[in-house]
Amino acid sequence: METAELKERTEVAPQTRLYNFSAGPGTLPEAVLLEVRDELPLYGTVGSSVMEISHRSPEYTAIEASARAMLRKILGLSEDWHILFLGGGASLQFHQVPVNFLPKDGSADYLVTGTWAKKAFKEGAFLGNARKAASSEDENFTYIPDPAAWDLDPNAAYFHFTSNNTVYGTQVHYEPNVGVPLVCDASSDFLSRPIDLDRYGLIYAGAQKNIGPAGVTVILVKDSFLQQRNQPLPTMLDYGTHTAKLFNTPPVFAVYMVNKVLKWLDGLGGIPAIQRINDEKAARLYGRIDRTDFYRGTAKVDSRSKMNVTFRLPAEELEAQFVAEAKTRGLVALKGHRSVGGIRASIYNACPPEAVDALIAFMDAFEQKNG
Amino acid sequence: METAELKERTEVAPQTRLYNFSAGPGTLPEAVLLEVRDELPLYGTVGSSVMEISHRSPEYTAIEASARAMLRKILGLSEDWHILFLGGGASLQFHQVPVNFLPKDGSADYLVTGTWAKKAFKEGAFLGNARKAASSEDENFTYIPDPAAWDLDPNAAYFHFTSNNTVYGTQVHYEPNVGVPLVCDASSDFLSRPIDLDRYGLIYAGAQKNIGPAGVTVILVKDSFLQQRNQPLPTMLDYGTHTAKLFNTPPVFAVYMVNKVLKWLDGLGGIPAIQRINDEKAARLYGRIDRTDFYRGTAKVDSRSKMNVTFRLPAEELEAQFVAEAKTRGLVALKGHRSVGGIRASIYNACPPEAVDALIAFMDAFEQKNG
């Protein structure tokens, strides 16, 4: 039955946007997409689209300056922080961070809490002495290891962690206090809550979860930390190349989109507003999961992510049926990652509260029918 | 006078697209931009834009597969060739190429013909024994050095060259025959003419000149060449990581655009058609430059680029006036690079012949008034 319904639905293009729970690239604010549409094929007064202007033009320079100003405002970044928009994805940062900051005669600590954290650790260990401060791999990354049990090196050049684990639906709900500069892969919860900047040396985030389309990584690096980097370095991998000037062609369209998403976030009320909205969405969804035994959250309660909500149903067949039926109701991209199974609802900044409400209503109905 | 006219023009958004001679990001086919507009905020039947779907989804997989099939068709690439769509820009390739292919106990040859070629050589020399086979820096890169005078190492792991020099308006009009695999930065003339693939090991091209927006680099790598790479390597910098599978989130929107531009090119008639169009555009424009002494091409005649046409006027003030007046006639982005001065008209694949005709008409009128 689901198959027939599905076939019917996918053969007709929907006239409205569906509720999109994709883990990334994730949903974007509709208002931003409509603005982009209205600026095609002509952007402002340039006589072409934004994709066809020089990255040295006043128009593109203004876009980057606006995106930086927005980030400074939203996060309260002082001038001590450099803001970069680089291509290559957060995965390139797994290499670029230790290239710059792991000293030949020193070490760095890594908190291994999921797929991406493990990949970051692997690239650090490839280059030098990367130490595993703690790992939750023993229990399929269902929790964030207790800081009291972290094996810390007081001389580490930095402490690397992944603030939110997209695949496993866990999140670090505090700022680690480890006595060395924090380096954070914040790709999947960037700008969803405040950051205590004083503890950090560098923060990076692939745009495609919370702040834009795939194709650009935002990097925040503190000048005092930057000055400690290894030298000399390959030009493109040296963060100093990019803090000094616009070295090569940036991913223009992605930065243009990020600027629009930042303006949208600022218009909502910035971090305090989005944090409240995110807290409410997550509380409602976890509340529904916990209300009966039909749904079962996969992450330990105190490690639950407010961005990626992962849960199981009593049987795999029911999970497949859940995903397929949800799709026919306009709730899409709910299938969990194969490492966890079950359902994953990614409820990033741009996921509207109505989407969560619709999901909860569907969960109620599905349980009533199949529970 | 120019200032007032300009002010007037830029205060009103043009209702039509201007003739855009930007050196890159360059002009794109208008038909492609209109298609993109029509697919916002809803792409196909997915219920969201193309920027909001998983890079593992069937829809994105189909886009990448289509782009690869188009490239195979347009260039006649056999299955022996891998096709990659990576972020980070061609500048990252300056590092990634020698990381993979410059052996610790070997060397590579570089042809240094301009700004970007020099940067590529610098990154090779940073890592190992990169040899300068020839350079035209002695005459401000106004020519391509004669192959008879190249200092070649028969044991070089590869011979790196830049097929077209955007800044200086020169182009290598033949396929170097050097007895070792060619590695080519083809960013600014990719798909403007055929490539004799047998001689190459790897070809890379930042998309933002001829095949799409900034944010993706197309890499073609021959399997037999790939198998000779250094091991082990940092994961993201190892081409083998990306030929094996889709490792991390690609720049989805940029690849989606590249696919559309490739379809547009195929619809025109592929390489034979675009080469004829490009030859005609370049012949007409250089013909106009050479017709009188008022305009003077900066590149030696046999090294002239068919993509970037660089020329000077009798005085710098006239050049500034030319650029400003051209802008008021809807001919934009004609200012030459500071290393060359004067005028640069970039006439990439998507620059319509009418744009060149309009430029020539303006050049005639400008000379008549000021010559």
Q: Say what the pLDDT of residue B3 is.
A: 37
Contact between B87 and A87 using a beta-carbon 8 Å cutoff: yes
Q: How far apart are CA A132 and CA A159, in angstroms?
A: 10
Nearest to A251 by CA among B92, B244, B332: B92
Size of the A and B interface in Cβ pairs below 8 Å: 232
> How many Å lie between the alpha carbon of A49 and the closest alpha carbon of chain B?
8
Q: Does A94 touch chain B (CB under 8 A)?
A: yes
Local confidence band at B151 (pLDDT 50, 70, 90 cut-offs): very high
> What is the pLDDT at residue A101?
98
* A216 shares a domain with A78: yes
Task: Name the pLDDT band for A14 (thresholds 50, 70, 90).
Answer: low
Domain boundaries, position B290: 4-29+270-370
DSSP state of B150: -
Q: What is the pLDDT of residue B9?
A: 42
In chain B, residues 207-236 whose CB comes closer than 8 Å to chain A? 208, 213-216, 232, 234-236
User: Domain containing B357 — which CATH number?
Assistant: 3.90.1150.10
Q: Enumerate residues 6+ apart whose C-beta is below 8 A from A357.
A: A284
For the stretch B33-53, pLDDT in tens is 999 999 999 999 999 999 999
* Strand, helix or coil for residue A371: coil
As a whole number of angstroms, the distance between CA A130 and CA A94 comes to 12
Cβ distance B95 to A37 less than 8 Å, yes or no, reads no
Chain B residues in contact with A349 (beta carbon < 8 A): none
Q: In terms of domains, do B181 and B218 share one?
A: yes
Task: Flag whether pLDDT at B8 surpasses 50.
Answer: no
**Residues listed for chain A:** 371
B18/chain A closest Cα distance in angstroms: 5
Name the residue among B34, B62, B36 with its Cα closest to residue B49: B36
What beta strand segments (E) does chain A contain? 19-20, 81-86, 107-112, 129-135, 159-162, 164-165, 170-171, 182-185, 200-206, 217-222, 296-297, 308-312, 331-332, 343-346
Q: What residues are paired with B165 via a beta bridge?
A: B170
CB contact at 8 A, A62 and A255: no
Q: What is the biggest distance separating any 2 CA atoms in chain A, rounded to whole angstroms? A: 64
Q: Do A52 and B248 touch (CB under 8 A)?
A: no
Amino acid at site A69: A
**Tens digits of per-residue pLDDT, B207-236?**
999 999 999 999 999 999 999 999 999 999
Most B CBs within 10 Å: which of A36, A248, A258, as the mutation test of the B interface?
A248
CB A108 within 8 A of CB A98: yes
Regarding whether A110 and A65 lie in a shared domain, the answer is yes
By the 8 A CB rule, do B131 and B110 touch?
yes
pLDDT-based confidence at residue A16 (cuts at 50, 70, 90): confident
Which of B248, B257, B328, B329 should one mutate to test binding to chain A, selecting the residue with the greatest count of A CBs within 10 A?
B248
Kindly tell me the sign of the dihedral angle through the C-alpha atoms of A44, A46, A52, A57.
Answer: negative
Residue B45 sits at the chain A interface (C-beta within 8 Å): yes
Q: Which chain A positions have a beta carbon within 8 Å of B207's beta carbon?
A: none
Q: What is the value of pTM for the model shown?
A: 0.96
Q: Please give the Cα distance from A133 to A111 (Å, whole number).
A: 5
Domain boundary among A217, A249, A268: A268
The reply to whether B61 touches chain A by the CB within 8 Å rule is no
Classify B220 as helix, strand or coil. strand
Mean residue pLDDT across chain B: 95
Q: What is the mean pLDDT of residues A265-289?
A: 98
Domain co-membership, A262 together with A306: no
Residue among B52, B232, B333 whose CB faces A25 most closely: B52
% of chain A surpassing 70 pLDDT:
96
- CA B296 – CA B304 distance, rounded (Å): 12
Q: Which residues 308-367 on chain A approach chain B with CB closer than 8 angstroms?
A: 330, 332-333
Asked if residue A81 and residue A172 are part of one domain, the reply reads yes
* Residue A5 phi, psi (nearest 5): -60, -45
Residue A12's pLDDT is 52
DSSP state of B145: P
Q: B330 and B247, same structural domain?
A: no
> What are the angstrom distances between the C-alpha of A70 and each of A115, A218, A350, B133?
31, 13, 17, 48
Q: Do A104 and A238 reside in the same domain of the chain?
A: yes
Domain termination residue (choose one: B218, B245, B268): B268
Are residues B216 and A214, on separate chains, in Cβ contact within 8 Å?
no
Q: What is the pLDDT of residue A179?
A: 96
Average pLDDT over residues A314-324: 98
Contact A68, A208 (CB under 8 A): no
What would the two tokens of residue B88 be?
A: 């980070």
Place of tokens 């008021």: B328
CA distances to A100, A129, A161, A206 from A109, in Å:
15, 9, 9, 22
Interchain contact, B53 vs A216, CB within 8 Å: no
- Write down which residue in A268, A296, A313 finishes a domain: A268
The answer to whether residues B143 and B278 belong to one domain is no
Other C-beta atoms lying within 10 Å of the C-beta of residue B301: 9
Contact of A39 with A49, CB cutoff 8 Å:
yes
Higher-pLDDT residue of A5, B366 = B366
Q: How far is B214 from chain A (nearest CA, A)?
A: 5
**A54 closest CB neighbour out of B22, B46, B87:** B22
Q: Are residues B195 and B298 in the same domain?
A: no
Q: Please say whether the beta carbons of A85 and A218 come within 8 A.
A: yes
Please name the residues in contact with A3: beta carbons below 8 A apart, sequence gap of 6 or more: A324
Closest to A133 (Cα-Cα) out of A90, A186, A167, A172: A172
With CB atoms and an 8 Å threshold, state whether A25 touches B252.
Answer: yes
pLDDT-derived band of residue B14, with 50, 70 and 90 as boundaries? Answer: low
Q: Angle between the A30-38 and A252-268 helix axes, to the nearest 10 degrees?
A: 130
Give the span between the Cα atoms of B35 and B38, in whole angstroms: 5
Q: Does B14 touch chain A (CB under 8 A)?
A: yes
CATH classification at residue B234: 3.40.640.10
**Residue B13 pLDDT grade (very low, low, confident, very high; cuts 50, 70, 90):** low
Q: pLDDT of A38-61, one tens digit each?
A: 999 999 999 999 999 999 999 999
- pLDDT for B16 equals 87
* CA nearest to B64, candidates B213, B220, B330, B254: B254
pLDDT in tens, B71-130: 999 999 999 999 999 999 999 999 999 999 999 999 999 999 999 999 999 999 999 999
Residue A1 has pLDDT above 80, yes or no: no
Is B278 in the A-facing interface, judged by CB distances under 8 Å?
no
**Closest CB to B18 among A10, A47, A215:** A47
User: A362 and A219 in one domain?
Assistant: no
CA distance B328 to chain A (A): 12
Going from the C-alpha of A152 to that of each of A47, A188, A307, the distances in angstroms are 56, 25, 28
Task: Please report, to the nearest 10 degrees, the dihedral formed by the alpha carbons of residues B309, B312, B316, B317 taken in order.
Answer: -80
The average confidence (pLDDT) of chain A is 95
- Give the pLDDT band of residue B12 (cuts 50, 70, 90): low
pLDDT digits (tens, 9 = 90+) for B44-87: 999 999 999 999 999 999 999 999 999 999 999 999 999 999 99
Other residues' Cβ atoms within 10 Å of the Cβ of residue B224: 10
CA distance A63 to A99: 30
**B136 and B126 in a common domain:** yes
Residues A339 and A250 in one domain: no
**Tally of domains in chain B:** 2
